[in-house]
A and B are shown apart, each in its own frame.
Chain A
Amino acid sequence: MDLLISLVINGLATGMLIFLLAAGLTLIFGLMSVLNFAHGGLFIWGAYTGVWVFQMSNSFILGIIAAISIGLLLGLVTERLIVRPVYGNHIQQILITLGFMLVLQELIKVVFGPDQKAVFPPDILAGSFIVGDIVLIKYRLFIIAIGILIFVISTIILKKSRIGLIVRAGVMDKEMIQSLGINIKLVFMLVFMVGAGLAGLSGVLHSVYSGVIYAEMGLEFSILAFIVVVIGGMGSFSGSLFAAILVGLAQAFMAYYVPALSLAVNMLLMTIVLIFRPQGLFQVKG
């Protein structure tokens, strides 16, 4: 029983981290059909900057703020310089964002050095609660809490505010929104920045979670986010949460029982979804 609970908590924590990364991807795709292969690059920049600030200032909150800000900033740069020149051409978008991913990844090595870095959790989140025989690791609970918080805030914004309405309508039909006189490019830029900020947040949270950071983890982790976006349905916000939890749990259980197959099971999930339901489990577009 205690094993089951700790595996579930593991899975939920991983799922939340993937969700933070996938949420941006899915909205960016839904709104402008841009698939951002550089998202993993924003993730590692968030991780490295956040950890650097955290270790310098000894304040984890400052680290998180730094990670989100670098995400927002890089999101702006990516959108302006990389994505905007090739709007509408899918092949060029995929190629160019992958190239930018490469540049971001190598720049990490220039700025922070090529070696792996160890990261330790802040004192307040280190250790665990013990309830009966069950060990609850504090940091994992913290990640789950943050994930739920972000999901709730974003859902409220998406469902209740005017900008959320515009974004949801844009995902459904962007021409219609434009003809109502809304500057969809500006909205898109904002969504892109927020998505990048979430990627940065996910990066710094993940670096403490895994205890080590290295430049290649961006691409590795973003593959999971792609899988989630595909399973959840491109453009579906709640779909990506559902799929992220599914993938996180599958990952955690397989890593415990059949470690060799932990990536394979997610691939298998994605392949099955793509073959039988290419639009994903939750379809948004009308």
Chain B
Amino acid sequence: MNLRNVDKSTWIYLIASLLLFMVPFILTGRSMQFIFIQIFIFAIFAMSYDILLGFTGIISFGHVMFFGIGAYSTAITMSKFDSTIGSFLFGVVIAVILAAFVSFIVGVLTLRLKSHFYAMLTLALAGLFLVAAEKWRTLTGGNDGFTFRLPEIFRDSQSMYMFCLLSLILIFFGLRRFTKSPFGRVLMAIRENENRTESLGYKIVHYKVIASVVAGVVASFAGVLYALSLRFVNTGVFATDLTIDVLLMTIIGGVGTLVGPILGAGLVEFAHHWLSGLADVHWIFERWIILYGTVYILVVIFFPLGIVGTIQSRFSNRPLKGLRDNRKANENKGRRAS
């Protein structure tokens, strides 16, 4: 491999990840490490969401179902079998297979629909998963949830940190490769102009279904890590709030980039931590979601590309068109389809 061919940004990312590897040696507090672990997990989740929203232009309000599938598959295998690495890996395999299966079925059935219908249908489907988890108490423990034991290696918060960070880095570079591949280019073409891509001979639904399977599988892995980090799982992993959280992270950080969701996850998690800490000072901080919602609305109106996207389009001369300037295309699309 010729090092000169490596993208300049790759070096930056590698250096950043090295720095992150050193963090647990500087910040030894468990709670601080826990926040970082949560950030890594949600960064993975948000990146998977961005594959749909930012790269393909699909809005799903039910992405949390894959997250929940991942969390429950691990938790259930870990509590039914002994807590070894073997049963953990078994749980991961089950999570991945289930998520791939569900996302494939959902995708095949619904991705032919227009954006509104898809958004509504996924919102309702996620609601269905939540209800199912609440009713199937023998397996899921309902809203009370259940705890489980971890394999030896994950009990230490430092090694958990390393494991999550490593997963984040591997998934980041994997998804980066995926989005830069010819396949990823077609996804972006679909985002920019669906009709034109179709008339160029690409089968749009195939591409969308594969994108949603990739996103679903990655999201389920985030769910696996989430269950591991908490050593506990309840129906909260299917709550729509989590979809909204991850939507905020993606939008604020920057849609259509992979660094954006990571940055967004960091911002949202830290803000969450600090603002709920401020709740003792004034009760209004308990309602920090208002602040988020407002920031989010302002970002959607004024910086539809998010932090990273806005910076990128400043520096490069070919601005990402995607989410802002396709009004006309969308309007035409809507007219033709109806």
Contacts and interface: CB of A to CB of B under 8 A. Distances in A.
Contacts of A98: 61, 244, 247
B124 A227 contact: yes
B116 to A, nearest CB: 4
Nearest to A105: B289
Given A102-B292, A103-B297, A227-B124, A94 B59 contact: yes
Interface of A: 29, 33, 35, 37, 82, 85-92, 94-96, 98-100, 102-103, 106-107, 109-110, 219-220, 223, 226-227, 230, 234, 260, 263-264, 267, 270-271, 274-275, 278-279, 285
A267 B300 contact: no
Contacts of B139: none
Contacts of B125: 267
A267 B116 contact: no
A106 B291 CA distance: 10
A29 B113 CA distance: 16
A37 B240 CA distance: 13
A102 B293 contact: yes
Secondary structure class of chain B's binding surface, majority of residues: helix
Contact of B293 (A99, A219, A227, A278): A99
Interface stretch (B22-30, B87-95, B319-327): B319-327
A89 B113 CA distance: 17
Nearest to B283: A110
Contacts of B167: none
Contacts of B271: none
Interface in B279-321: 284, 287, 289-290, 292-294, 296-297, 300-301, 304
Contact of B127 (A109, A230, A263, A274): A263
B138 to A, nearest CB: 13
A85 B330 contact: no
Nearest to B109: A275
B128 A33 contact: no
Contacts of B123: 223, 226
A270 B127 CA distance: 13
A278 B300 contact: no
Contacts of A278: 112-113, 117
B284 A103 contact: no
B98 interface: no
